[in-house]
Amino acid sequence: MASNIKEQIQADLQQAKATGQLRTERIREIVKSAVSQLGSELKEGSSELRNLVKDAVSAVIESFQEKGGELKEEVTASIEGALEGVNIKRHAAIAKTQGELKKLQAQLDSEEAQLQQEVDGILAEVEATGKGKSDHAQSAIESAINTIKDSEEVALLKKRYAQLQAQLAIVKANLAARYGGRSGEVKDYLDEAQSWYNQARPQAEALATQVEEKRSQLEDKLGAAGTALAKKELQLKHTLRELLLAAADLFKDKEPADANKKTTVK
């Protein structure tokens, strides 16, 4: 099998070279195709599969070593292509699981919305019971209901949860792009990050304008990552890394000082 994959890759590289299409992206696709074809029947994680990857990378090195000079881009493209080819089935399973998780998340969101509606209805009925009672009783009921509705702790937890989910989706997009994930998989993670970010943003509007610039930068990075993915640019990994750093920088911002300094003095 070693000779088969080497011959196939080297023949495809030679053909691409003859037509003037031998760019790093093409090298990646050639290696990916060869590894996925010959490795489809091998057991995942087996030594045969690992040897197949090594032979594929060696085929590229042997094809380019005669040119001398730096081979980093060609070797990197061959490794990326081999990883993507060998993990096609795994990424397909990941994409399927991701789709199931999205359905569960949508169901959870719907059930939480229904629960919130029920709670609001109950609170409205409780508030109505205060009508006709003494001013002191009405004030106590209204104050208690407003405290429950406007709980800063709940709002903060919801915001932090959405922020963490957005960061996690960006991390997944980085890992998928780095270890051979399909463009559709990366796009799903970026869409997920944007969705969670949009949920966190309204709850963060009370923050001072000091984070507005960082928030704008994050939006720009999200847009740039989507554009790079659509164009299949080699810059995608660098853009995703910048997005991850921008998200970490924004989401580490503290709450407004006056909110943080609230303490109970006994």
262: confidence class by pLDDT, cuts 50, 70, 90? very low
Q: What is the pLDDT of residue 266?
A: 39
CA distance 51 to 56: 9
Q: Which one is the CATH code of 151-266: 3.30.56, 1.10.1660, 1.20.120, 1.10.3470?
A: 1.20.120
To the question of pTM greater than 0.75 for the whole model, the response is no
58: confidence class by pLDDT, cuts 50, 70, 90? very high
Of the candidates 241, 101, 105, 228, the one whose C-alpha atom is nearest the C-alpha of residue 171 is 241
30: confidence class by pLDDT, cuts 50, 70, 90? very high
Domain residue ranges in the chain: 2-86, 88-150, 151-266
Q: What is the pLDDT of residue 251?
A: 76
257: confidence class by pLDDT, cuts 50, 70, 90? very low
Q: Are 169 and 190 in contact (CB under 8 A)?
A: yes
203, amino acid identity: Q
